[in-house]
Amino acid sequence: MWLVIAVLVLAIGFVAFLEIRGIPSYPTTTLSLKIESTPEKVANGEKIAAMLCNGCHLSTQTNKVTGRLMLDLPKEFGTIHSFNITQDKEYGIGKYSDAELVYLLRTGIKRDGSFNPVMPKFAKLSDYDIESIVSYLHSDRPEVQANNTPNVECDYSLLSKFLCLVAFKPSEYPDKPIANPDTTNLLAYGKYLCVDLYACYACHSADFKTLDYVNPEKSGGFFGGGNHLLDLEGRLVLSANITPDEETGIGNWSLERFDRALRSGLVQDGPALRYPMMPHARLSDLEVKAIYSYLKTVPKLKNKVERHLES
Ligand code: HEC
Ligand code: HEC
């Protein structure tokens, strides 16, 4: 009896602790850096953002990156809104310095020190790619121009707060410059694209809850699919197994078949791939080939994913 009460008191204490602690804060950056923008960087950043950032940040109401309600994130994480990342000084990211933006993208720590548990952390991205993203955010492209849509604060669930205590942590800021990947080494380049840049593993591993942004290969069910994702109407769509398992993954897929799925969203004998799998039409032939080559080398996982669920 006393034991039950003691356990209960501890449990209530722990919940209260999580509620009060909330989403943690960390020291802010003291970096100083100034990014030299070039037309090449802006174009590269635009391509990266189209595949990586705008899916979460673009609003169909404003046609700008003013943020939106993320109906497509599992509700167990809370009610989450992405923020206004237009150049607006008041409502957007106009107050962020270059260094603060780079620090947030690499570590997940925002300008005010609070942690962003939702976004992938880009600790291993090349300096050139990181600078390209920032140059794009500061460019004259229409979707990043200032807009005064206010942010809606995120209402994180207890589970999210708990995960921030045990699993979701900032990534280390790199201690030396990071060069662009060697594009003649297909495997290394493919890994860079799938893991460090486009974060394919975040959706294609078993579950957001067991992702390891710091050591991606340690994420539960790495590339084995089955993660519970939602489309924009909140219907369940499971991610596909894209390990080289012949039976349940893409082990038997030719490069052409893979290319069609990845860039056009078209699959053999089946309906087109559904949101949130976007056609990655901007990938170059070389990028597709590198991604394909790398995925052929990840550990095979036998995991049959039900594709078309009734909901
Ligand atoms: C999975 C969805 C998702 C992706 C992908 C994503 N973001 Fe975010 N982002 C969010 C959410 C949700 C927030 C608001 C929560 C927070 O900041 O704590 C946010 C916040 C931000 C902020 C902070 C704004 C502020 O006012 O402090 C910046 C800057 C940002 N994102 C930039 C980017 C860039 C650049 C990319 C692409 C490299 C990106 N995001 C990709 C979901 C996403
Ligand atoms: C936002 C989550 C998300 C991201 C990011 C993502 N995928 Fe997907 N992917 C999915 C979902 C969900 C499906 C299944 C769609 C369906 O069943 O209609 C899928 C399907 C696929 C398929 C088809 C597999 C099959 O068996 O039909 C391939 C190939 C694929 N993704 C490769 C990739 C690659 C490579 C990347 C990174 C460049 C990537 N995906 C990024 C969610 C994502």
pLDDT digits (tens, 9 = 90+) for 273-300: 999 998 999 999 999 999 999 999 999 9
Q: How confident is the model at residue 167 (pLDDT cuts 50, 70, 90)?
A: confident
Q: Give pLDDT, residue 270.
A: 84
CB 176 within 8 A of CB 279: no
For residues 72 and 231, is the Cβ–Cβ distance under 8 A? yes
pLDDT band (50, 70, 90) for residue 152: very high
Domain ranges of the chain: 25-166, 186-295
pLDDT at 166: 74
From the options 2.40.420, 1.10.246, 1.10.760, 1.20.120, give the CATH code of 25-166: 1.10.760
- How does the average pLDDT of the chain come out, rounded? 91
For residue 200 the two structure tokens come to 């394919």
Query: pLDDT above 70 covers what percent of the chain?
Result: 96
What mean pLDDT is predicted for residues 99-124?
92
Residues 143, 68: Cα–Cα separation, whole Å: 14
Ligand 1 binding pocket, CB closer than 6 Å: 49, 52-53, 56-57, 70, 80, 82-83, 85, 93, 104-105, 110-111, 116, 118-119, 133, 154
How many Cβ atoms from other residues are within 10 Å of residue 243's Cβ? 24
What's CA 17's distance to the chain center, in Å? 28
Contact 73, 163 (CB under 8 A): no
Report CA dihedral (96, 63, 236, 260) to the nearest 10 degrees.
Answer: -100
Helices 98-107, 127-137: axis angle to 10 degrees equals 120
Please determine whether the domains at 25-166 and 186-295 fall in the same fold group of CATH: yes
Mean pLDDT across 140-169: 89
DSSP 8-state class, residue 304: P
Q: Indicate the pTM of the whole model.
A: 0.92
User: What fold is seen in the domain 186-295?
Assistant: Cytochrome Bc1 Complex; Chain D, domain 2 (1.10.760)
Peptide bond connecting 177 to the previous residue in cis, omega within 30 degrees of 0: no
- Which ligand has the minimum distance to the alpha carbon of residue 156? 1
